[in-house]
Amino acid sequence: MACKRGALIVLEGVDKAGKTTQCKKLVQALQQSGRPAEMMRFPDRSTTIGQLISAYLENKSDLEDHTVHLLFSANRWELVPLMKRKLEQGISLVVDRYAFSGVAFTSAKPVSLLLLV
């Protein structure tokens, strides 16, 4: 019997909007209904790239804005193989922030661009 693919569910929103609380409740509800589910959060500070992001967010390192944007993107990409494996195993992933947050936060931060004419 083939295993059904898990669902990828992403909750996006600003800080302190209740994303983490709702993600936990959703995972619990899925599990109680007999569906395997796990929660993931981004940025994932446990990875090598995530540790660089963490240092930046804690004002322990000074990184150029474009570099930070790329690190957030790389942090998501480095976990894609794990996410695919879990989804293929039938585990639904409830994700606290993903790509849209990166776009929103990058867009909100003023970035000075040097245009060469």
Model confidence pLDDT, tens digit, residues 69-91: 899 999 999 999 999 999 999 99
pTM: 0.81
- List the domains of the chain with CATH numbers: 8-116 (3.40.50.300)
Q: How confident is the model at residue 114 (pLDDT cuts 50, 70, 90)?
A: very low
Considering only 10-19, 66-75, 90-99, 105-114, which range has the smallest mean pLDDT?
A: 105-114
Q: Give the residue among 63, 71, 75, 65 at the shortest CA–CA distance from 107.
A: 65
Confidence (pLDDT) at 34: 97
